[in-house]
Amino acid sequence: MNSSSLQILPDTDAGYTRAADLWRAGGLVAFPTETVYGLGADACNDHAVARIYEAKGRPSFNPLIVHFADLNAVKQHVTWTAEADGLAQAFWPGPLTLVLPKKPDSPISKLVTAGLETLAVRLPAHGPARALLKTFGGPVAAPSANRSGQISPTQPSHVVDGLTGRIDAVLDGGRCDVGVESTIVGLADRPVLLRPGGVTEEQLTACLGHPIAVRKNAEAISAPGQLMSHYAPNAAVRLNATDWQDGELCLGFGAVECDLNLSADGDLVEAASHLFEYLHQLDAKGGAVIAVSPIPHHGLGVAINDRLSRAAAPREG
């Protein structure tokens, strides 16, 4: 990627084909939806998903929404329920995201869910978004296409201003109609409105036939990294380990001997792409302690260290 360029792709079949090819090659392509522009990558490609977090400059791994072209594809990745069906019938395609249990055999990157066992799924209504997703033919992970802390982009120039030099391309689909992000409804348990958005609470209540619970904790909504606190390895986690003690499972970084190495070359994007998968694999060995090499605290290292310090925090209960 040329650091001064960002390809602007036309809203045509040729543009969709080029964008889909970039996704297949692990690239980052921003695309319009009816709500805001999303920063898309192949949801099954760990490295591409790690690049999303890097491009946004997020200091922590927020779980990402996965976008699909059709309902049957969604059902391959999550456990579908009657309530999901009712809401999907009423509001899909459209500005509604559903959070459902992820199927254990789904090939979606663990970095997309930041280690959670639920997956946020959405079927956008926007014509070019649907055409592009159909051309690609697989799930696309996409947060809003802005740098962390900046406002959400509703036209291509916002994406160009915020992300030039950090992503490969933007599909130019003009201005987004809705302008606020999708409504997020959690369905892993009883229905909960997790984030207000394009579909209103009244519309949801009318569809469900009863009032929907609303998550009151505004902080949990604006800082959803906290959602991850319930996911921690069974093993204790020892950070900044410069030597390994007997019986420890060793998660290395850089040129060290270890059980699994986040990146032998010391590449932070590669390390992020392996983080959740490797924690999971080491934990499955059933040891008492996972020791982790020091991770440099810059770039994606900040998000990696955030996640590791959560995993190492004293457990409640």
The two tokens of residue 143 are 């947060």
Decide which of Mg ion, ligand TXA, none touches 128; Cβ closer than 5 to 8 Å per partner kind.
none
Nearer to ligand TXA, 53 or 253 (CB): 53
Q: How far is the CB of 227 from ligand TXA (least distance, A)?
A: 5
> Of the candidates 97, 113, 144, 293, which one interacts with Mg ion according to CB under 5 A?
144
**Secondary structure class of 205 (helix, strand, coil):** helix
Alpha carbon distance 21, 16 (integer Å): 8
Burial annotation 242-269 (CB, 10 A radius, 16+ → b, else e) = eebeeebbbbbbbeeebbebbbeeebbb
Q: How far is the CB of 153 from Mg ion (least distance, A)?
A: 10
Q: How far is the CB of 77 from ligand TXA (least distance, A)?
A: 12
Question: What sections of the chain are H helices per DSSP?
Answer: 13-24, 46-56, 71-75, 82-91, 127-136, 156-163, 201-208, 218-222, 268-283, 301-312
Q: Using CA atoms in the order 158, 164, 170, 175, what is the torsion angle rounded to 10 degrees?
A: 10
Q: Does 154 bind Mg ion (CB under 5 A)?
A: no
Count of beta carbons in the 10 Å neighbourhood of residue 59: 15
Q: How far is the CB of 85 from Mg ion (least distance, A)?
A: 27
Nearer to ligand TXA, 38 or 156 (CB): 38
Q: Which residues contact 213 (CB under 8 A, 6 or more apart)?
A: 190, 191, 192, 193
Nearer to ligand TXA, 148 or 238 (CB): 148
If phi > 0 it is left, if psi is from -120 to 50 it is alpha, else beta; for residue 34 that is: alpha
Decide which of Mg ion, ligand TXA, none touches 58; Cβ closer than 5 to 8 Å per partner kind.
none
Alpha carbon distance 83, 67 (integer Å): 19
Q: Which of 291, 276, 281 is nearest to 239 (CA)?
A: 291
Bridge partners (DSSP) of residue 236 are 289
Decide which of Mg ion, ligand TXA, none touches 194; Cβ closer than 5 to 8 Å per partner kind.
ligand TXA
Q: Which residues contact 107 (CB under 8 A, 6 or more apart)?
A: 44
Q: How far is the CB of 119 from ligand TXA (least distance, A)?
A: 6
Q: How far is the CB of 67 from ligand TXA (least distance, A)?
A: 6
Q: How far is the CB of 29 from ligand TXA (least distance, A)?
A: 12
According to CB under 5 A, which residues from 227 to 286 bind Mg ion?
none
Nearer to Mg ion, 60 or 263 (CB): 60
Nearer to Mg ion, 193 or 290 (CB): 193
Stretch that binds Mg ion, among 21-29, 142-150, 252-260, 274-282 (CB under 5 A): 142-150
Nearer to Mg ion, 103 or 147 (CB): 147
Nearer to Mg ion, 144 or 293 (CB): 144
Footprint of ligand TXA (CB under 6 A): 33, 35-36, 38, 62-65, 95, 97, 99, 113, 116, 118-120, 122, 142-144, 181-182, 184, 194-195, 224, 227
CA 137 to chain centre: 18
Residues near Mg ion, by CB under 5 A: 144
